[in-house]
Each structure stands twice: as structure tokens, then as C-alpha cells.
Amino acid sequence: MKQKTLGNEVRISGIGVHTGNNIEAILKPAKAGSGITFVRKDLDPCIRIKADIDNVDDVIRGTALKSEGFEVYTVEHVLAACAGLGIFNVDIEINSNEFPVADGSSKHFVELIREAGIKELDEEQEVFDVTETISVVKDDTVIIIKPHNEFKISFTIDYDHPVIGSQYLSIPINEKTFTEEIMFARTFGFYRDYEKLKSQSKAAGSSLENTIGLDDQQVLNEDGLRAPNEFVRHKILDMIGDLSLMGMPIRGHVVAVKVGHALNVEAARLLRKAYKKFKMSQNTFNINDIKKILPHRYPFLLVDRIVGIEDGKKAIGLKNVTVNEEFFNGHFPSRPVMPGVLIIEALAQVAGVFMLSKTEHQGKLPFFGGIDKFRFRRPVEPGDALYLEIEIIKLMGKIGKVKGTAKVDGKLVASGELMFSLVKA
């Protein structure tokens, strides 16, 4: 499956459901791997806010993103439209802090995107396969994501209301099912909550033109519902938009009971965490692999295994500290403690594996350029499994700076910064 973007730019105008602002938006093609980014054109300079789970700021009655102190509200419906069509690369320019609500569904956005055309890019679209069950529970609400051969959502809602009641829908999510069964479902709200929302600076643009309104007994919209179970369909729509903040399609079965944006976002965070764990597990090195990369040898090879590398960002190594280590003979015979400078050296060796495993750096030697801000919290003793994590701070050609963190049993042992350079062997 190839990555997709828009064939041409398309304009959208309308009101913001919460701010009441009149908004102009332009959806533009974007290059492969760039993701979906909102561009606040009303600011000088413009602020780019990536549709990413790390940028979620607010989940009350909608999903809001924030970057550099600036927000964009109510992004879930346009994100659902993009994800439902398999599009994960778009620049969205807006002249306000909220995306237009249109009719409260994703239908209008899908129609405009199809009008602009969908362009297939050369690069492959990565898909995250759920391999272990993920669960989020809060009170009587729950999300469980299980391994499955396709993206599927099974959603249950339960409202003490004669029109809504209990509704359940289980459906595979693909372009056909999304456009035929989900995209038209509108957001809904209760009249009794309207004044409270307005006092919270919410729902200023809400009306029966963009919301299914309900009093205590009935639907207030003259045209009624688009489907008897439109409510649960819209909840699925919201979930598709929120989960897309993970940054790629997923294959897995999502079982959800009575959840909203907050739990959706938490599930997306756990998916991202599982994805990072999986990616790191694909980049492991045993001691023989390490010896092919590093020039160090016993007794100065201080890393037994690289348990994972996150490309371009960080690496985690393991040193099993045994009583037979040479340095324990003199440090100290009566109370064996691993020297702090060797903990720093072990971290540096993990950084060395990270750098020298790259094709362009093979055949080089890593030299210290500096050590800064190191603090030691507790001793490392025989029998400890010393986990060594380095995270890139700066990397420019042959020179780099990393943050190093050493832990035993999840407790911090030492941390600080290392500077290094690569020289010809």
C-alpha cells in the first residue's frame, strides 16, 4: 500500500462549532512522510501544528492540538475524513484557531477531498499491526485493542434517553465502509447542556445545522436522523479521527464501551508506545554483533546487548554486572561498586553502537568530546542489570551530543550529557 495525499488543493469555509468564528481553510498536498499538519495562517509568523498524539491539548467536547503555545480546536472530523480515505499527508491552512464544523460529520470533507483528487505517492505506507492486547479502563468506560487481520471497531454506547438508549455497531473500517456507513454521522448534544457549555466558552457556533439536538424526549432537528443508530456511528467517526493521531493506519480490533475523546486519545498514546517498542525490538544486537561494530574488547567492552534502537532518536543497551568484573578487584574488595566513570563509558559505548551501526560511519572510531551535567544517584553492584539509554540531543555530521541515562530495576543510577566526535580508524 502506497502513501497518499491530495491531488490538488481544496478550500473549505464555515463556522467553528465551539468558537463561533467564521473560518477559511485550505487543504493542500504534502510530501510523503510529512503527516497531517495544521498551519495557523492568522499568526505572524505562521505556526505549524502537527496532528500528532504528542500535541493533544484538550479533549473536552472535541480534540484540540497545541504547539508553541497556539491551539487548533475540533480537528477530529477532518482527521477522520483523511484517515477514512487512507490519507496521512496533508497541509491544512486555517485562518483561525478552530476547524470548520460543516454539518457536524465528515461527509462534506470527504466530498471535497474526492473533488480535489487523491494522489498515490511512491513511498510505502507503514501500517502498525497490533500484536499484543492493549487496554484502557476508566470507571465504566473501556477500550480494548486486540490483534486482528484488519482495522475493525466494535462500539457500544448507553444513554439514559428514549431516542438513544443502548446502541452497538461492529464494522471493519476501510474506505468503502467509512464512506457508506460512517462519514455522514453527525455530532450530537443535549439541550440541557447547552448553557453550561456556553459558560465554558464552548458551543458558541453550535446549531441544529451542525449538531443533532436532543431535549429530554426527542430529536429537535426537523429532518430527524440519518440512521436510527447515527449516534454510535458518530462515536466511531470520532474514534477514527482520534486514533489517526498515532500517525499511521493500524490493523487491530478496537472494542470500545461508552468512551469519548479522552479515552480515544489515551488509546492512541498506548498504540504509539507499542509501535515504538516494536520498532526498537527490530534493531537488537547481541555481543557478537556489538564486537563487529565497536573496536573495544575485554576487559573494556562494557555493553552485553543492545535491546533496541529507535532510528535517529535513541538506543538502549544492557550491561550485566557480575562479580568477576576486573574493576571489582580494586574498587573495592570489601564493597564492590562499579566506578562511575565506567558507567559513563558504558553509556558512551551504547552511543558508539548507535552511530557506528550507520553505513556512513562504519570504519570510524568514537572519541569523547566532553562530559557534562553527570550526577550519580546510587551505586551499581555485582548482580545488577544496568540499562543504558542514550537519546540524541544534537547530531551534525561527525559530531554529536547525547543525553545518557543509566538505570537498575527501573531506578535512576546516573544521568548526564556526552559529547563525541567520529574520527578515521
Let me know if 148 is a catalytic residue.
Answer: no
* CA–CA dist 132, 145 (Å, integer): 8
* CA–CA dist 286, 401 (Å, integer): 25
Q: Of 31, 128, 19, which Cα lies nearest the Cα of 71?
A: 19
Let me know if 331 is a catalytic residue.
Answer: yes
Longest dimension (CA), the chain: 86
Residues with Cβ within 8 Å of 199's Cβ and at least 6 positions away in sequence, in order, are: none
How many Å separate Cα 176 from the centre of its chain? 26
- Taking the CA atoms of 1, 34, 398 and 387 in sequence, report the sign of the dihedral they define: negative
CB 165 within 8 A of CB 229: no
Choosing from 148, 296, 331, 361, which is the catalytic residue? 331
Choosing from 148, 261, 296, 361, which is the catalytic residue? 261
The answer to the question of whether 77 is labelled as a binding residue is: yes
Write out the three cell numbers for 324: 568477576
- 3-state secondary structure (DSSP) of residue 368: strand
The answer to the question of whether 160 is labelled as a binding residue is: no
| Phi, psi dihedrals of residue 19, rounded to the nearest 5° | -85, -25
* CA–CA dist 311, 354 (Å, integer): 9
CB 313 within 8 A of CB 391: yes
* CA–CA dist 233, 226 (Å, integer): 10
* CA–CA dist 339, 331 (Å, integer): 7
Residue stretches of the annotated binding site: 77, 234, 238
Residues annotated within the binding site for Zn(2+) are 77, 234, 238
Q: Which residues are catalytic?
A: 261, 331
